[in-house]
Structure 1
């Protein structure tokens, strides 16, 4: 075992405090990564504050990891020391079920192993610990290549926010000229705009705040609709082929479903903590609409997304934070005071 510096939560109310975490010695198929940057995801906040259920403490969060390979196991084929790599939201899965064999490890029928807070499949007594740390050891099958030339800090959020929006757009086979709506303009929403534009779509952003209109247009959106404006929503009726809903607060989906054209689909990405208002079946039946959900992406699809973003010059809009400012950054995330993702500079640990 190797002990490395980290920042961890020790209780739901402790905040993030200096700590250490033990990393295993690299096995035959392991890659050891010296972490340089780690994105801050809103799910980190929910998890360490025990808002999504029971947590095993101490817990080191972080699943948007970018760094440099420092050691590799003797059987590793795809990575060498010095390469820039990434690790996203999962570090293992059963590798045997239909989903895993088809490249959808995120939907592993036995449950994928999260990068932090999950029972380690190698050692059932160990809880995985994430990327707010100086180093991590991950099986090579769950490590990604970061394309040359990408800004490493801005690439980190792609490993969660990027693939979470890319995957449903690919599933829906969004093509050049399609019309895509994005509900919400936060960490997920701003990536949805950029990736949909990269695919050649016309993009409409739905926001409750008229003040966000200029920001949405600056990101590449073609249209902005203030969702509290009934006249504006009526004007968008039957205009969209697909919608990504990135909002994690409770809201009524029916007005957005009305903006879909026949055979359109709304994909839920945000995860509200409470039940949503019911969907009106008539809206769905009358235009053969679909309502679905999507969870991150598989390993191959995540690599595809990274390569796509590199080719199209897409990266997350970020603000770098030091380790000592993590708690303040969390409070700002909860308040919606970030454009659009925080990234931890691991050199400050």
Structure 2
């Protein structure tokens, strides 16, 4: 076993605190990784505070991991000691169902194993995530990091990046399309960058006029203030696709009205309480679609990393030491981050 230091929540109403635990000794197909950076996702907060009522305590969050390979099993062929690699939201799946066969491990029909708060395949032990100094992962779920600079800003791509890339790719966003991105947070700011890099005309949809200038800096060519009835009315039927990144319950009908005939709005934000049900007439009269999307498979995540490296896309981040994680959660709830916290795991050295 490998001794590991990290931070964990021990109940939903307690702050995260230092936590010592053990990882498995690498098997023949395993990769042992020294974690350099880990992004802070809203899902981390939901899980640490048991807001989805499914947390296995103690919980070590973190699934936006960039690190350096420290050891490999004797059957590992894809990676070598010293490689810079990434680990996202999934560390195992059944590998034999229809979805896994198509490279869609996130939809594994037997249930994928989450990087944290998941049961290992065939076992009952809790998985511990990236708020730690190391991790051991099967080589099939480790990703090559093609970026050579600003590795801390690459970390959020392992969740926020693939969460926005996958639906944009699946619904074939590209040149000649007008795409709305709802919300300019950890997900939305990457959605703007990636949709623009795909060649679409991007429109930011936000409740905050103060975010318009930043949306334009990131690549949005226009903006709609969703609380302004005149702007919303003027934009009706103007968008081919909407990527909705907001993780709080809100009225979907007003946004659906912005779509053209046959347009789709895809939800990627995961609120702790449901959205109000949309009016069916918002859908049937223009043959609009309301869809959802969950992260991405391993092959697509590698494709996303390569695409972002090619186009110079990384997350806008604020680096923090692990000792500030509880403060970061509170700031995240207030939207006080531009646009993703990333933990420098070197800060664990003093624990």
Class of the TM-score when normalised by the shorter of the 2 chains: over 0.9
Q: Which runs of 5+ in 1 are unaligned?
A: none
* Deviation of 1:227 (Å): 0.2
Which whole-Å deviations, capped at 9, do the CAs of 1:5-49 have from their partners, x for residues lacking one?
Answer: 111111212211111121111101000000000000011011011
Match of 1:203 in 2: 202
- What secondary structure, in the 3-state scheme, does the structure 1 residue paired with 2:86 have? strand
Matches of 1:11 and 1:277, distance apart in 2 = 30
**1:58-207 map, 5 Å:** 58-121=58-121, 124-207=123-206
Distance 2:281 2:63 in 1: 40
How many residue pairs are counted as aligned between the two chains? 348
Give deviations 1:293-312, integer Å, cap 9, x for gaps.
Answer: 00000000000000000000
Contact kept, 8 Å, 2:147 with 2:154, in 1: the verdict is no
CA–CA separation in structure 2 for the residues paired with 1:154 and 1:138: 22
TM-score normalised by structure 1 residue count: 0.98
Within 5 Å, give how 1:1-349 maps onto structure 2.
1-121=1-121, 124-349=123-348
Q: Deviations over 1:293-349 (max 9, x none)?
A: 000000000000000000000000000000111100011011111100000000001
CA distance in 2, matches of 1:253, 1:188: 18
8 Å Cα contact 1:150/1:310 also seen in 2: no
Distance 1:275 1:242, change over 3 A: same
Shift, 1:2, TM fit: 0.9
2:202–2:220 CA contact under 8 A, matched in 1: yes
Structure 1 residues 46-55 or 316-325, which shifts more?
46-55
Give the alignment's Cα RMSD to 1 decimal: 1.0
User: C-alpha offsets along residues 70-111 of structure 1, whole Å, 9 cap, x if unaligned?
Assistant: 100000010011000000001000111100010000000111
Deviation at 1:235, TM superposition (A): 1.1
Output the CA distance in 1 between the equivalents of 2:115 and 2:340. 19
The separation in 1 between residues aligned to 2:178 and 2:227, in whole angstroms, is 21
**SS of 1:287's equivalent?**
coil
- Distance in 2, matches of 1:150 and 1:111, equals 35
Instruction: Give SS of 1:147's match.
Output: coil
Aligned partners of 1:237 and 1:38: how far apart in 2? 40
Instruction: State the TM-score, normalized to the length of structure 2.
Output: 0.97
Cα pair 2:179 2:195 within 8 Å, conserved: yes
Quote the Cα distance in structure 1 between the aligned partners of 2:239 and 2:54. Answer: 40
Contact kept, 8 Å, 1:241 with 1:265, in 2: the verdict is yes
